[in-house]
Amino acid sequence: MNVVVCVKQIPDPAAPQSLDSGSYNLNRSGKLILDEADTYGVEMALQLTEKAGGGEVTVVSMGSAADLTGIRNALAMGAASAVVVSDDSLRGSDALGTAKVLAAAIGRTQYDLVLCATESSDGYTGTLPVQLAEILGLPSVTFAKSVSVEGGQLSVQRQTEAGFDDVVCPLPAVVSVTAGVVEPRYASFKGIMAAKSKPVDQPTAADLGVAAGAANAGQKIVAVEAAEARQAGEKHVDDGDGADKIVAFLESIKVL
């Protein structure tokens, strides 16, 4: 079974984030890392292909190829190859534009299943997996917290507001997985060395015959304003009296 995993390299979420002043695009000038949310999809793909007794995992991404640390990380975990669509014309693409590009890149590979995170940790639009499925003409199951494949059919536990649903779906399909669905493996030293020579195809938008980018986005950020700020209140270092402070506070707001 061949599995494609859509991944994204993002600025380290632990570092302070900012928007470029003119374009309001997220500042991506610093180091890029593999979105932690994507490591679950990579791990899931590796486990599914291992269980199926064959097949390859391909990671597909759109974004700057100047720093491929995050992509190499996915390859070091065990993915066989990568496709990184890197093209300045794609800068400022919305989720639909990105989905068109990824669909075109995925369309050039052999796949039975496409895995995505439920949303990226920097943009969190959360619609890309389904847009991708629609463009590829495939069924989709989002928010999967458990995935198995048996006889060409997917069985998924999908999160709902009240709990979860059991969902079955034929392959090929697009599935978005939640964090925690599996425990991502750490890359071994051998894996890291092997990743250096694994193929990373870097087609342009023209190679794929798609157009995206800010001009096609259909939306424009016109302002960024400070939200109504909450003021930090009293900060008290617990000295055995923390619970008393909380009780007094709850009394003052008439909850007690």
Partner 1 sequence: MAISSIWVVAEPANGSFTTTSLELLTQARTFGATITAITWGGQAASLAAIAGEYGATTLFDAGDLGGALAGAPVAGAIASLVASQGAPDLILIPTSYDGRDIAGRLSAKLDRTVLTNVTGVADNGGIVTEHPIFGGTQIAKAQFTGAAPALVVVRAKSFVAESAGGAPAAVQSASTGDLGATNSAKITGTHVEEQEGPKLEEAAVVVSGGRGLGEASAYSLVADAAKLLNGAAGASRAIVDAGWVPYSFQVGQTGKTVKPTVYIACGISGATQHMVGMKGSKNIVAINKDPEAPIFQIADLGIVGDVHKVLPALIEKLKSR
Interacting positions 107-136 with partner 1 (CB under 8 A): 118-119, 124-131, 133-135
In the complex, minimum distance from the CB of residue 57 to partner 1, in angstroms, rounded to a whole number: 22
Is 244 a binding residue for partner 1 by CB under 8 A? The answer is yes
Single out the residue of 44, 34, 28 nearest to residue 7, CA to CA: 34
Q: How far apart are CA 71 and CA 81, in angstroms?
A: 9
Output the smallest distance, CB 96 to partner 1, in A. Answer: 5
What does the alpha-carbon distance between residue 256 and residue 251 come to, in Å, rounded to a whole number?
5
The two tokens of residue 91 are: 């800068």
User: Which CB, 66 or 215, lies closer to partner 1?
Assistant: 215
234 binds partner 1 (CB under 8 A): yes
By CB under 8 A, the residues from 164 to 193 that bind partner 1 are 164-170, 173, 178-180
Identify which of residues 196 and 243 has a Cβ nearer to partner 1 in the complex. 243
Cα separation, 117 vs 35, whole angstroms: 9
Residue 233 found at the interface with partner 1 (CB under 8 A):
yes
Residue 238 CB, shortest distance to partner 1, in Å, is 3
CA–CA separation, 174 and 127 (whole Å): 12
CB of 185 to partner 1, least distance (A): 16
Q: Which residue has the tokens 């342009």?
A: 204
Tokens of 195: 């990743």
